[in-house]
Structure 1
Amino acid sequence: MSELGLHMEVEPPRRPDPEKRGRGPLIAALVIFTLVLLAVGAFFFRDQVLGAAAEDYTGSGGNEVIVQVQEGQTLSDIGATLKEEGVVASAQSFITAASANEQSQSIGPGYYRLAEQMSGDAALNAMLDPANRVVSRVVIPEGLREDQVVKRLTAATDISASRFNRAIKNADQLGLPKFAKGNAEGFLFPATYEFPPGFSARDIIGAMISRFNEAADSLNFVKASKKTGYSPYEVMVIASLVQAEGHPDDYGMVSRVIYNRLAAGMPLQLDATVNYVLKKSEINLSPDQIATSSPYNTYENTGLPPTPINQPGEAAMQAALTPDEGDWLYFVSVNPDTGETKFTADYDEFLKFKAEFERYVAENP
């Protein structure tokens, strides 16, 4: 036997650490538990998310639903809204349909008349159909009086005339320019408006005044008015006269006649101002009508009427700011059908134009 074998110390076998021996099953259990959680999570994600993305109803749906699309919403946002409102089975069913149709990009903010449980394709097609837009659409042409504007607004909405009149009376709280002196006549800007459900009379009048302010800003109206020698409010009065009396091609010349007659101290003698008092739109006033007593009657009073007499458009406002150059003092619309209007600085020539108009009236009773 070698010395190595004689002198080597033999250690007794080590016994397993009881603490470490107990950790093994615990770690294994934790690993198994984690794997189970991951498996359940993966199943839930596949079933609830991926599975839902494939869900879709069939047909055009049942009960009516009004859905609002907000400003700035993407097609994905719209799909989520439709899902929340019960219109589609899943947002993805709408997104898939929208992705396959370029017209889907035209869907804008507003209210849409849809139905519960529509297919994604049916919901998209319904939103692309203008007939399903839920709006009160009203056209306000240039030159309407305030009462005529209210009549159109009342006809286009379920709001009473009294509510509109109340809003107009308090228009200074709705953005009316300070120079308007609290009077909304002339500032209910003519345009085509679409009002969503729930809009109040105040909302609508406020929107119209806001549209006026946009037009005035684009024309730099207040600053430009100073160059005319008249206040911004007086220029708005002139704009309303131009709107009432002129054909668009002649606005600048009509504006010049008004300024020339004001400068000469001549009464304006405009039929439109008498029509305003009478709430009419006559092209051939009678002597009795012309004799109507009113501060608006420019046959009997010199200077401008107290307020605008209608809602002028942007072109008439521009003409009031920058009238054409000329010495004209008179104009006559010799053919109201075509809008042909003749201008002159000579009174005798004016009488000839007037006779031409009277022949038109006689031939067109």
Structure 2
Amino acid sequence: MSATLPFLSLSQRTLALGLCLLVGVGLVWYVLGGPAPSTNEATRAVVIRPQTGAFDIARRLKEARVIRSRVAFLAVAVARGTQRRLLAGEYEFVPGLNLLEVVRRLEQGKGFVHQVTIPEGFSARQIAEALQGKGLVDQDRFMSLLRDRQLLTQYRVDGESLEGYLFPDTYRLTKGLGEEAIIGLMVQRFTEVFGPAERARAIELKMSVAQVVTMASLIEREAKADEERPLISAVFHNRLRLGMPLQSDPTVLYSLSRFSGKLTKTNLRARSPYNTYLHRGLPPGPIASPGRASVKAALYPASSRYLYFVSKNNGTHAFSNTLREHGAMVRRYQIGRAG
């Protein structure tokens, strides 16, 4: 005796198929496209470090409750062929984003951008502190990389450090970019400012790029008024030509690990290769990051015989040709004021 299964009519089969498709679509939407586990939660911030693989990205997103399924995330990324092209950065995910929107954001690198302004005259350590304060770098690693021989060779810097070559500007940075990449952005900006024309001018002056940048860093730390930069440059150039010590206070400050208050005679006797009161010529390297105006002043000093300058305590300086004139200016603006 044989039994046969009942056959559905065409309309019944169509209805059954439609219900199966509807359930299937609903499940796919729930797993792949549905919102994060709770739409009542706050915005989630997730930092993706450079060189992080798709599997670890999926894990981070799941832990942060941005997605509900790591397998689903990886499936979508693989299906789109972008599993190896998900970008590092700091991302903020609002509740309710579906999985496809999450993947697309990582593909496009639509992370949170930090706008950071590095002031002219900042030392490398001040730059590192500012960047660490925004959670963008590890200060110690940043400072260590500045002395990395491979990076110095890569950027064709003749010196012991990238101090002075981190160009002061406004940068748009993301967490996860990494210390090396941020250094690269700053040095690249320097090379844009210090281009072929500037290199040709340095050759005319019989100076290396490192010497020009070092001179520019001293001008940057001494000058407050832009119109005085070429005059301060002239003083330094004249002193170098005559074999006189530069006697620049900022070089002494740079050599001191800790300093507060006013420079003393003891400070001026501090044994350091950067102390331009004790050593003739330029210091071993830059003491800060000079801006465009100071670089230009170092390359194009004013036509002047000035050998001295002293602060007027109002952001400008009094310039002198002789030590006697300089002594009078010091008594007028410094000693007299102190009294």
Q: What is the TM-score when the length of structure 1 is the normalising length?
A: 0.62
Task: Please tell me whether the aligned partners of residues 62 and 117 of structure 1 are also in contact (alpha carbons under 8 angstroms).
Answer: no
Partner of 2:144: 166
Matches within 5 A, 1:313-332: 313-332=291-310
Residue 229 of structure 1, CA deviation = 2.0
Pairing 1:253–2:231 present? yes
Partner of 2:202: 225
User: Which structure has greater helix proportion?
Assistant: 1
Task: Please tell me whether the aligned partners of residues 172 and 178 of structure 1 are also in contact (alpha carbons under 8 angstroms).
Answer: no
Paired positions, count: 262
Residue 61 of structure 1, CA deviation = 7.7
Residue 220 of structure 1, CA deviation = 2.7
Letter in 1 for 2:186: M
Letter in 1 for 2:207: Y
Residue 324 of structure 1, CA deviation = 1.0
Q: Distance in 2 between matches of 1:201 and 1:67?
A: 18
Q: Distance in 2 between matches of 1:207 and 1:160?
A: 17
Gaps of 5+ in 1: 1-56, 69-84, 87-109, 124-131
From the superposition, tell whether residues 269 and 166 of structure 1 become closer, same or farther in structure 2 (CA, over 3 Å).
closer
From the superposition, tell whether residues 246 and 172 of structure 1 become closer, same or farther in structure 2 (CA, over 3 Å).
farther
Letter in 2 for 1:267: P
Point out which structure has higher relative CO (alpha carbons under 8 A, 6+ apart): 2
Q: Deviations over 1:21-60 (max 9, x none)?
A: xxxxxxxxxxxxxxxxxxxxxxxxxxxxxxxxxxxx9xx9
Partner of 2:178: 200
Partner of 2:95: 116
Residue 263 of structure 1, CA deviation = 0.6
Residue 203 of structure 1, CA deviation = 1.4
Q: Distance in 2 between matches of 1:159 and 1:233?
A: 26
Partner of 1:64: 43
Letter in 1 for 2:338: A
Residue 228 of structure 1, CA deviation = 1.5
Task: Please tell me whether the aligned partners of residues 128 and 143 of structure 2 are also in contact (alpha carbons under 8 angstroms).
Answer: yes
Partner of 1:209: 187
From the superposition, tell whether residues 155 and 238 of structure 1 become closer, same or farther in structure 2 (CA, over 3 Å).
same
Letter in 1 for 2:307: L
Q: Distance in 2 between matches of 1:350 and 1:303?
A: 21
Q: Specify the SS of the correspondent of 1:169.
A: coil
Task: Please tell me whether the aligned partners of residues 175 and 206 of structure 1 are also in contact (alpha carbons under 8 angstroms).
Answer: no
Letter in 2 for 1:221: E
Partner of 2:255: 277
Q: 1:348 aligns with which of 321, 324, 328?
A: 324
Q: Distance in 1 between matches of 2:118 and 2:237?
A: 28
Partner of 1:288: 266
Q: Distance in 2 between matches of 1:114 and 1:179?
A: 41
Matches within 5 A, 1:1-365: 64=43, 113-117=92-96, 134-157=112-135, 159-170=137-148, 172-173=150-151, 177-217=155-195, 220-249=197-226, 250-279=228-257, 284-335=262-313, 338-359=314-335, 362=338
Q: Deviations over 1:158-215 (max 9, x none)?
A: 5322221232222743785324335211111112222113211111111111111121
Q: Distance in 1 between matches of 2:336 and 2:185?
A: 42
Q: Distance in 1 between matches of 2:291 and 2:306?
A: 23
Q: Distance in 2 between matches of 1:343 and 1:209?
A: 34
Alignment RMSD, CA only?
Answer: 3.6
From the superposition, tell whether residues 296 and 111 of structure 1 become closer, same or farther in structure 2 (CA, over 3 Å).
closer
Letter in 1 for 2:116: V
Task: Please tell me whether the aligned partners of residues 143 and 244 of structure 1 are also in contact (alpha carbons under 8 angstroms).
Answer: yes
Identity of aligned residues (%): 32
Q: Deviations over 1:1-40 (max 9, x none)?
A: xxxxxxxxxxxxxxxxxxxxxxxxxxxxxxxxxxxxxxxx
Letter in 2 for 1:362: A
Partner of 1:46: none
Q: Distance in 2 between matches of 1:230 and 1:281?
A: 32
Q: Specify the SS of the correspondent of 2:312.
A: strand
Q: Distance in 1 between matches of 2:244 and 2:113?
A: 48
Letter in 2 for 1:345: N
Q: Specify the SS of the correspondent of 1:268.
A: coil
From the superposition, tell whether residues 204 and 319 of structure 1 become closer, same or farther in structure 2 (CA, over 3 Å).
same
From the superposition, tell whether residues 236 and 172 of structure 1 become closer, same or farther in structure 2 (CA, over 3 Å).
farther
Q: Specify the SS of the correspondent of 2:171.
A: strand
Q: Specify the SS of the correspondent of 1:308.
A: coil
Letter in 1 for 2:117: V
Q: Distance in 2 between matches of 1:175 and 1:62?
A: 49
Task: Please tell me whether the aligned partners of residues 271 and 283 of structure 1 are also in contact (alpha carbons under 8 angstroms).
Answer: no
